Amino acid sequence: MSEAALEVSDLVTSFPGNAGRVRVVDGIGFRVGAGEVLALVGESGCGKTVTALSILRLVPRPGRVEGGRIRLGGRDVLSLGVAEMRRLRGREAAMIFQEPTTSLNPVQTAGSQVVEAIRLHERTSRADARRRTLSLFERVGIADPAECFASHPHELSGGQKQRVMIAMAVALRPRLLIADEPTTALDVTIQAQILELLRELQRELGTAILLITHDLGVVNELADRIAVMYAGRIAEQGGRREVLGDPRHPYTEGLLRAVPSRGRPGEPLAEIPGALPAPDAWPPGCRFWPRCPRVRERCAAEAPGPTDVSPGHRVWCHAVQEDLA
């Protein structure tokens, strides 16, 4: 396998809480191969976005990355200086946000924002950047690129704005695209189009994508591999088929059961009892045990280590470990 686009290991990011610092991301690790799509799945508040921001070293203060290693395109992100880090952003890794409506500057035209993004990293003329922006707009499926170029964000629809955001993010052909819930704020037909676009771009440009979402439908559409996150840790990780087809972790199983299906009409929707606690109230041991149907005595005492259930499919669960033993 070629060099990974992104390698994260033992990442710890903490925020100050009432009693000392709270580890919102607690020792997670994953790898996104070149041109691969990894979906980071989990409930709201489980640390997905903080993980993404940690990769770009943009965790809002007073939060900070406390430990671990992040390698982006072969470079150690955590040891870079401020200026080097700035050069890396946008060029090596770019990010797409959930809310296209608020992610564009309202007082500048859509085109000029992309032009500035290009000119930020490349010494090129305005005319050249403009030409590239127009062709990017065409590539991301904007119907009238010239019209869109001169439009202010409030004159564009949500889908168009997300396309502009994507154009801006891929303008410098980054190795890694971090898509933080890229379709959550869009309606369903537009969602499908945007996902299709992301897949096309990923194939065409060979861009790896770290897809952050809580929507398993989106995961199924786009992901090559999946990492399921719960309460700041990874619960299960593996190929899309393995994780969705043969989930092992009780949490993943619960998530999949909770997806409404047309195959079971009229049946009440399954749910995972309880709710994800706030980060400062995360239980000791395995963090899922208070809600887990397969809870053991060990679960509250110690955090489970990884268990390989098949090549590339890992689960962090005492019960699964016992099954295999």
Residues that bind another protein (CB under 8 A): 56, 58, 86-91, 94-95, 97, 99, 102-108, 116-117, 120-121, 152, 165, 168-169, 178
Burial of 101 (0-12, 13-18, 19+ CB in 10 A): middle
- Listing DSSP states for 146-202 in one string gives HHHHT--GGGS-HHHHHHHHHHHHHTT--SEEEEESTTTTS-HHHHHHHHHHHHHHH
Nearer to another protein, 88 or 299 (CB): 88
Residue (94 or 319) nearer to another protein, CB? 94
In 10 A of CB 139, how many CB atoms? 18
Beta carbon nearer to another protein, 14 or 103: 103
Least separation in angstroms between residue 161's CB and another protein is: 11
Task: Tell me how far, at minimum, the Cβ of 215 lies from another protein, in Å.
Answer: 20
Distance between CA 66 and CA 14 in Å, rounded? 7
User: How near is the Cβ of 105 to another protein at its closest, in Å?
Assistant: 5
Judged by beta carbon, residue 43 or residue 116, the one nearer another protein is 116
In whole angstroms, how close is the CB of 230 to another protein at the nearest point?
25
Structure tokens at 51: 């993980």
Nearer to another protein, 40 or 276 (CB): 40
What is the CA 59 to chain-centroid distance, rounded?
15
Q: How far is the CB of 122 from another protein (least distance, A)?
A: 12
User: CA 38, CA 211: separation in Å to the nearest integer?
Assistant: 6
For residues 257, 262, 264 and 268, what is the CA-based torsion angle, rounded to 10 degrees?
A: 60
CB of 64 to another protein, least distance (A): 15
For another protein, the closer CB: 85 or 243 = 85
Closest distance of CB 61 from another protein, Å? 9
Shortest approach of another protein to residue 214 CB, angstroms?
19
Residue 53 or residue 243: which is nearer to another protein going by CB? 53
Nearer to another protein, 38 or 170 (CB): 170
Q: What burial letters (b/e) apply to 27-47, b meaning 16+ CB within 10 Å?
A: ebbbbbbbbbbbbbbbbebbb
Q: Facing residues of 228 across strands? A: 41, 236
Q: Is the dihedral of CA 248, 251, 256, 257 positive or negative?
A: positive
Nearest to 101 by CA among 141, 157, 174, 53: 157
Secondary structure of residue 88 in the 3-state scheme: helix
